[in-house]
Amino acid sequence: MRVGAQPLGRPIDAHAARAAMRSARDGAWNCDLPASLEEVAAGVGVCRRCELWRQARQGVPGRGLARAALMLVGEQPGDAEDLAGAPFVGASGRVLDAGLRRAGVPRDGVFVTNAVKHFRHLRRGGRRAYRTPAAGEVAACRWWLEAERRLVRPKVVMALGSTAALAVFGKATPVADNRGRAAALADHAQGLVTFHPGYLLSLSDETAKREAFGLFVTDLKLAWSLAG
């Protein structure tokens, strides 16, 4: 593992846990900023800024290189991520990994997170059906995303899908109209948008799926070149 990477399942020390409780208690907005990614992780675990914590098993903070030049932001954890407590470890994660390999981007050289840290879903029989986060939930959770960005200090932030783009850019940013173009962000990073891996999985036409995956890889290559 590269220096600065956060191993999965890293224990959170008591100081970080206490700081997290102060940060997230009662969903307060005027709390102290997290001083480390460990405090972010602990805070996400006890966050009450929106109601999604009630239906999720756990909060899922970002993982990866602590000083990564490239940050990838997805939509929210899915069922697999909610179980594992780590982002992009399910089917969408496998698509992301394939795209990163094709683009020549090391997974352990980036920081991967989500716009929303808890799994939003509906119960359908014994299955938990994925639901897109509401705009208010994205806004509530943006505090944690901004904390991660402040601590990681990436040169490039790539939003995977329109929900992530809303969190990154603070406004609706359609993927089809904006992919391939870098935009300046308030923290002097460059922002990009591309498809969410889950969108690629949803395509039933194999030709369309191959073409979309090729564009996805092209976008990842651009992000990595700008981060270099």
**pLDDT tens across 8-51, in order?**
444 555 555 555 555 544 444 446 789 999 999 999 999 999 98
**Integer Cα distance of 60 and 63 in angstroms:** 9
Please give the pLDDT value at position 127: 74
DSSP class of residue 109? G
Q: What are 137-189's pLDDT values in tens digits? A: 999 999 999 999 999 999 999 999 999 999 999 999 999 999 999 999 988 99
* 29 shares its domain with 132: no
Query: How high is the pLDDT of residue 132?
Result: 83
**Cβ atoms 110, 46 nearer than 8 A:** no
* Percentage of the chain modeled with pLDDT above 90: 75
72 in any annotated domain: yes
Nearest CA-CA partner of 111 in 149, 72, 56, 82: 72
Same domain, 120 and 200: yes
The answer to whether 70 and 194 are in contact (CB under 8 A) is no
- Looking at residue 9, the DSSP 8-state letter turns out to be T
Report if residue 152 sits inside a domain: yes
Q: CATH code at 74?
A: 3.40.470.10
Please tell me the total number of residues recorded for the chain in this structure: 228
Question: Same domain for 25 and 69?
Answer: no
> What SS3 state is found at 28?
coil
Collapsed DSSP state (helix, strand, coil) of residue 158: strand
Residue 146 forms part of a structural domain? yes
Q: Is the pLDDT of residue 65 over 60?
A: yes
Distance CA 136, CA 140 (A): 6
Rounded CA-CA distance 208/106 in Å is 26
User: Are 84 and 177 part of one and the same domain?
Assistant: yes
- pLDDT for res 7: 42
| N-term to C-term CA, the chain | 20
Q: What pTM was computed for the model? A: 0.85
Q: Are residues 223 and 112 both part of a single domain?
A: yes
Q: Determine the pLDDT at residue 55.
A: 85
State the average pLDDT over residues 48-70: 93
Give the Cα separation of 78 and 75 in Å (integer): 9
Q: At what angle do helices 37-45 and 14-24 cross, to 10 degrees?
A: 60
What is the per-residue pLDDT for 120?
Answer: 86
Domain with 197 in it: 63-227
Is residue 94 domain-shared with residue 182, that is, in the same domain? yes
112 and 202 within one domain: yes
